[in-house]
Chains A and B, each alone.
Chain A
Amino acid sequence: MSAVVDVVAAVLLLTGSGLALIAAIGLFRMPDTYSRIHVATKPATLAVVCTVGAALLRVPDLAPTSKLLLAVALQFWTAPVASHMVGRAAHSAGLRPDEPWVVDDLATIEGDAGFSAGEGGDADDR
């Protein structure tokens, strides 16, 4: 029983660390800031869930379980919000991706004259 738990914990640890390494490589591979935001959210949620799950399997007591579960829940709540805030701030500060937008809803919400890219979306409802 303990050996099975250890094997599962080892697989989870390797998965989480491998995800962190892949995301670090992805920071160099991705072309612009918005793609990098998309990359950087993976180790903040999925890898943390994997490694903290392995820690939960390995720690014998019940006391740290609540702390670790609360850490995972807060990470799930806060990491997407933080990424969204950084992306919205980059858009509002005038940062543009390498390729032009397909849909730019924030420009219509903000209503700024400097942000209007020209065409107002691709509405081809046939």
Chain B
Amino acid sequence: MTAVVWVCGIMLGAAGFLTTIHVIRSRNLADRAVGIDMLIAIVLNSLAVSIAFSQDDLFAALVLIIGLLAFLGSVTIARYIEERGP
């Protein structure tokens, strides 16, 4: 299980790195909103991998809360894009 978690961590780290580069390099606000949404999804995946590795329910509530905050953030940015432009 340790080797599997290492491989998962490397893949998720690479995904987070690529998404961060995309957020920095993107040209409009909608692209950044999509990238930040995906960064939060990667964080959720990392938390779930951490729960599966440690067999501890310390982060279970965190998955719930971060998922809801991701929804609120995306909707807020969407309203902002509608008013201001991309």
Task: State yes or no: do A and B come from one complex.
Answer: yes
Are B11 and A55 in contact (CB-based, < 8 A)?
Answer: no
In the complex, chain B residues whose CB is within 8 Å of the CB of A121: none
Contact of B60 among A23, A40, A64 (CB under 8 A): A64
Are B37 and A86 in contact (CB-based, < 8 A)?
Answer: yes
- At the interface, yes or no: B24 with Cβ under 8 Å from chain A? no
The listed residue with most A CB atoms (<10 A of its CB), out of B63, B71, B79, is B63
Contact of A93 among B38, B52, B75, B85 (CB under 8 A): B85
4 A-B pairs besides A43-B38, A67-B61 with CB distance below 8 A are A28-B18, A55-B48, A74-B71, A90-B28
Give 24 A-B contacts (CB < 8 Å), ordered by A residue: A6-B1, A9-B52, A10-B4, A14-B4, A20-B12, A20-B41, A23-B15, A24-B15, A33-B86, A36-B34, A40-B35, A43-B42, A55-B52, A59-B52, A59-B60, A64-B51, A64-B57, A67-B61, A70-B64, A74-B71, A79-B41, A82-B71, A93-B86, A95-B30
